[in-house]
Structure 1
Amino acid sequence: IDMLAETHDLTREAAIAKLKESYDGYHFSAESPDVFNPYSLLNSFSKKEFGDYWFGSGTPTYLINMMHKFNVLPTDIITRIEADASEFDAPTETMVSIMPLLYQSGYITIKNYNRDYNYYTLDVPNKEVKVGLTRALIPAYVTHNTLATTNTARRIAQALDKQDMNGALELLQTFLGTVPYCDNTHYEGHYQQMLFIVFSLLTDYLVDVEVHTPKGRVDIVLLTHTNLYLLELKIDSDSSSAMRQIDLKEYRQRFALSGKPITKVGINFDTKEGNITDWIIE
């Protein structure tokens, strides 16, 4: 740990914090302490780098195939899940959902246990798994050009760090203009999944979809260092109708206690172009 800290000009405490963020967070029972991924931890010590090692040890092709088989979307797995033990701690040979595979292969892990109602909360263990899993999903759900996707996400993060949502959407529009047309672009969920994957690459931010409010659901909620963004998507319509929906359902009230300025974003996609055509930011 001390050698790793010295290499990166960090204090010992800061190095431990980065190690925990990247490789810690596994739990295998209701009372389990935090468990590090030993493979990634030892590679980090050996190479003196905070790299993404676990995904380099294999290919997630089987996972992608199983996601298609069980009709699972990226938003179904890169998010918190509540389940009974029998739904995830079960033999993969007889599984009727993808959860046993996700749990036993380390994509998700136990994060909490509710004794009163006997259910578990599961989530992605740490930053390494989140980033690796998100990148693995890019070819199947966005484009085969993973480099362009990750570079775009990096530039979007830089724009959002400057509170420039308009610049971020311009980058996204330019990027989507390079994504080949596919047959499943005629429904809102397609674009929601694409944006979710891109925003999930912004590892220091929190992103969620279909967030419930007293009067409806927000398509995408994005929490950055400085702002809380409420994104409403429309297809073959206009951004004004998206903004009207945000106002009509009073989405802002649901997040009034977030402690950060709330920015509303209405976005319209054109299915013929497969791209954003207009947006409004308030």
Structure 2
Amino acid sequence: MRTQGYVYIDKTAHVARLAEQGKYYFLARPRRFGKSLLVDTLAEAFAGSRELFEGLYLEQHWDWSRKYPVLRFDFGSGVLRFREELDERIGVQLAEQARQRGLVLEREGIASRFEELVLRLAEATGQPVVLLIDEYDKPILDNLSEPERARAMREGLRNFYSVIKSLDPHLKFVLLTGVSKFSKVSLFSGLNNLKDVTLDPRTATVCGYTHAELINSFADYLDGVDLEEVRRWYNGYNFLGEPVYNPFDVLLYLDNREFKPYWFETGTPTFLIELLRQRQFVIPEADDYWASEDLLGAFEVGAIEPEALLFQTGYATVRERQVRPNGFRYRLGFPNHEVRISLPQAILRRYVPSRREQQRAEDRLFQALEQDDPAALRPALHAFFASIPHNWYRRNNLAGYEGYWASLVYCLFAALGVETRAEEASHQGQVDLVIEYQGRVWLLEFKLAEADDGQRALDQIKTKGYHLRYAGQPVTLIGMDFSREQRNLVGFAWERIEETASDRRSEDSEMPRRPIIQ
């Protein structure tokens, strides 16, 4: 709905259901995805601000005769680097919320003052307290690259959260929101009744915009808008329900009418990029991988898996869920075009601090694609790898890791926004990289070799028949060899090939079929 120039998307049915069906909740969503707005909505509903809900679902589906005291804590602003700063931030919020209600806290210590505030507020109002904690994990996430600091932040937050369970008789409703899900044992000291609704189909659309919400609520702003392109750029986040758009992107796109990575530009978590590098994570695999429920469900400082962090920070989303005897398995990948081009760009910046060198490499690659000139790849890639500072290779074996070279070549092409697929299967194996642009196909195969000319990698493409599925399209086969000693491209060979329709039929008949998963 739209009122006086403002657009309202009614999510209040979710608020009613949460309040009716439970008491303790946890919700993880990526940054800038509407978590704080949900917290605001809950706060106003429990405070009895009926006038704010006129015309919305909650107006007729809420007990407005009762008002509850609401305590809201927010850890989303600023970056805290030391435990003392965290304690001070909590102390300030406790003191300010007490002051607003005419209370003076007398106890010492964070946990004790928190308990005192809840008890006195419940006594003063005669009603149980609503507790809302927004971005509960940010002080930890901001310090993941420094594990000792992250642990110190965890201990400070655990001290604060430790009293929640003992306050149960005096609490009406509790919600914690954040990006990640740290284990209950490490952070919540026995709060075992905290219900995680992150992947609950009933709350799949509680944050973000569905396509129907976009069409109906923003109808006055959609003249001339290419809705399919908006969907390609900003939709695709799936929490086991209807996919949703990133709301931050939608609002900025409708204001500027330019397709840009608005969400991504607000800040990529450096700890994610660094973790991917440290774990030698093969970046193309981020666009299609399987993870168990345990892997996605929780993690701990010092024991964080890249697959879990990609999902929890919003750089991967659920594409498919499979039921197995030992629990659920989730197939995940990039949610949309924004992430597909922006994450590779961020990874390239981590390896090549010079934006100029990165841009030069991207320009050379794009020119090679535009002109269908595979030979131009060799000098472009050689110059790019030569620009990576040598100190990146100290105390690691990145150059001796084939996935490292595959990841960076993938990132260069994906950052251009062209169709880039890794490990595409044929009946005899998987080709390392597929590039499609303007109806043409480039197939790339990589090898580690100190003295070779790329021919062995090229021959593998032909021997394995990776090219057979592209009958009727111009196909270029490219073999590349990388040296762990020289830390660069040392061998390069390419060949154009055309296949017949009979070759295509033969390939199709031998290809394994993916089983249908219910």
Corresponding residue for residue 515 of structure 2 = none
Q: How does 1:206-245 map to 2 (within 5 A)?
A: 206-209=420-423, 211-234=424-447, 235-236=449-450, 237-245=452-460
Corresponding residue for residue 92 of structure 1 = 299
Deviation string, structure 1 residues 103-140 (Cα, Å, up to 9, x no partner): 22211111233469954321111111222211211133
Q: How does 1:189-208 map to 2 (within 5 A)?
A: 189-208=403-422
Structure 1 residue 230: deviation in Å?
Answer: 1.8
The TM-score normalised by the length of structure 1 is: 0.80
The TM-score normalised by the length of structure 2 is: 0.46
Report the Cα distance in structure 2 between the residues aligned to 1:131 and 1:111, rounded to whole angstroms: 18
Would the aligned equivalents of 1:205 and 1:225 in 2 still touch at CA under 8 Å? Answer: no
Report the Cα distance in structure 2 between the residues aligned to 1:239 and 1:202, rounded to whole angstroms: 24
Would the aligned equivalents of 1:226 and 1:260 in 2 still touch at CA under 8 Å? Answer: yes
Corresponding residue for residue 143 of structure 1 = 352
1:128 aligns with 2:342: no
Segment drifting more, 165-174 vs 33-42: 165-174
Structure 2: 5+ residue runs without aligned partners? Answer: 1-217, 496-518
Report the Cα distance in structure 1 between the residues aligned to 2:418 and 2:228, rounded to whole angstroms: 14
Corresponding residue for residue 101 of structure 1 = 309
Would the aligned equivalents of 1:226 and 1:261 in 2 still touch at CA under 8 Å? Answer: yes
Would the aligned equivalents of 1:103 and 1:109 in 2 still touch at CA under 8 Å? Answer: yes
Structure 1 stretches of at least 4 aligned residues deviating more than 4 Å after TM superposition? 1-6, 68-71, 114-118
Read off the aligned partner of 1:233 and give its amino acid letter.
F
Corresponding residue for residue 20 of structure 1 = 231
Read off the aligned partner of 1:121 and give its amino acid letter.
R
Structure 1 residue 35: deviation in Å?
Answer: 0.5
- Of 233, 240, 248, the match for 2:463: 248
- Of 290, 295, 298, the match for 1:82: 290
- Cα 1:83–1:260 change in 2 (3 A) is farther
Corresponding residue for residue 56 of structure 1 = 265
Segment drifting more, 172-181 vs 125-134: 172-181
Would the aligned equivalents of 2:431 and 2:444 in 1 still touch at CA under 8 Å? Answer: yes
| Percentage of identical aligned residues | 26
- Cα 1:67–1:212 change in 2 (3 A) is same
Would the aligned equivalents of 2:284 and 2:410 in 1 still touch at CA under 8 Å? Answer: yes
Bigger Cα Rg = 2
Corresponding residue for residue 70 of structure 2 = none
Higher relative contact order (CA 8 A, sep 6+): 1
Report the Cα distance in structure 2 between the residues aligned to 1:128 and 1:256, rounded to whole angstroms: 27
3-state DSSP of counterpart to 2:262: coil
Would the aligned equivalents of 1:135 and 1:146 in 2 still touch at CA under 8 Å? Answer: no
**Number of residue pairs matched?**
268
Deviation string, structure 1 residues 120-169 (Cα, Å, up to 9, x no partner): 321111111222211211133x3212342244224412321332222233
- Of 243, 252, 275, the match for 1:66: 275
Report the Cα distance in structure 2 between the residues aligned to 1:256 and 1:135, rounded to whole angstroms: 29
